[in-house]
């Protein structure tokens, strides 16, 4: 449990704005000016069958996207809650029709269950759109574990294929805190502002997990 709960809290930090929801590999996009979004998801993962919940409201403020991630990881013998403010800035390829883009994402994490111990994350997401309905996302970054400050590298590669305007298929391979995760799933767009994500994951080549999430965009300020 001492390793599982910090790991799950850190894995919840990276919250994509285009690939959306619970997928680990972030993209280089941010919300449009004047737009806000909230996303919520839950699922089970790992050999110890940890249950995870997430709520993440975000808004575009000037040139950056600001997000607040609220996460809970629960086991039969305890839980871990974290609050994680996040800032993301797309410094290359901000135009809607840009084929290549890059961003910086910085997150601070506070483990409120164990006295507010702090951790964090820094990620460089890069996205490439080779054709109109396909995106490739790559991440490179580092995590600082809450409490101990132990630093580990993180990174991964993901792909997204828009089968049609309503359905996209997403697959990724990702490494965080020396654990590899393979994930595949789909996003279903019910309206331009509302979508649902579903995925299954194989963690460290052993344990299976699943997640379901809801994303809702709206006009902000």
Question: In this predicted structure, what is the pLDDT of residue 10?
Answer: 37
Residue-wise pLDDT tens digits, 128-140: 999 999 999 999 9
Question: In this predicted structure, what is the pLDDT of residue 113?
Answer: 85
- Name the pTM for this structure: 0.88
Give, rounded to a whole angstrom, the gap between the first and last alpha carbons of the chain.
41
Question: In this predicted structure, what is the pLDDT of residue 145?
Answer: 87
Mind spelling out the 3-state secondary structure of the chain?
CCCHHHHHHHHCCCCCCCCCCCCCCCCCCCCCCCEEEEEEEEEEECCCCEEEEEEEEEEEECCEEEEEEEEEEEECCEEEEEEEEEEEEEEECCCCCCCEEEEEEEEEEEEHHHCCEEEEEEEEEEEEEEECCEEEEEEEEEEECCCCCCEEEEEEEEEEEECCCCEEEEEEEEEECCEEEEEEEEEEECCCCEEEEEEEEEECCCEEEEEEEEEEEEECC
Question: In this predicted structure, what is the pLDDT of residue 96?
Answer: 82
Residue-wise pLDDT tens digits, 2-48: 344 344 433 333 333 344 578 999 999 999 999 999 999 999 877 67
Question: In this predicted structure, what is the pLDDT of residue 221?
Answer: 65
Question: In this predicted structure, what is the pLDDT of residue 20?
Answer: 58
Neighbours of 131 (CB within 10 A): 8
Question: What tens-digit pLDDT sequence spans the chain (221 residues)?
Answer: 334 434 443 333 333 334 457 899 999 999 999 999 999 999 987 767 789 999 999 999 999 999 999 999 888 777 889 999 999 999 999 998 899 999 999 999 998 887 767 899 999 999 999 999 999 999 999 999 887 889 999 999 999 999 999 999 999 999 998 889 999 999 999 999 999 999 999 988 788 999 999 999 999 76
What domains can you pick out in the chain, each with its CATH number?
4-219 (2.40.160.40)
Would the CA dihedral through 76, 205, 13, 111 be positive or negative? Answer: positive
């Amino acid at each position: 449990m001492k390793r599982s709960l910090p790991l799950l809290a850190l894995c919840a930090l990276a919250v994509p704005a285009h690939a959306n929801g619970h997928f680990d590999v972030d993209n280089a996009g941010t919300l449009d000016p004047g737009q806000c979004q909230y996303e919520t998801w839950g699922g089970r993962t790992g050999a110890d069958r940890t249950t995870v919940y997430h709520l993440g409201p975000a808004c575009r403020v000037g040139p950056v996207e600001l997000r607040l991630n609220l996460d809970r990881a629960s086991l039969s013998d305890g839980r871990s809650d974290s609050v994680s403010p996040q800032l993301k800035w797309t410094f290359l390829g901000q135009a809607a029709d840009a084929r290549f883009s890059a961003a910086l994402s910085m997150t601070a994490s506070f483990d409120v269950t164990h006295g507010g111990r702090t951790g964090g994350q820094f990620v460089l997401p890069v996205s490439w759109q080779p054709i109109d309905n396909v995106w490739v996302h790559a991440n490179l970054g580092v995590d600082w574990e809450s409490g101990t400050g132990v630093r580990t590298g993180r990174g991964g590669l993901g792909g997204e294929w828009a089968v049609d305007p309503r359905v996209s298929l997403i697959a990724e391979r990702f490494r965080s805190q020396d654990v590899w995760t393979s994930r595949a799933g789909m996003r279903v767009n019910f309206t331009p502002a509302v979508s649902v994500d579903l995925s299954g994951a194989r963690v460290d080549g052993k344990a299976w997990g699943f997640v379901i999430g809801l994303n809702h965009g709206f006009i902000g300020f």
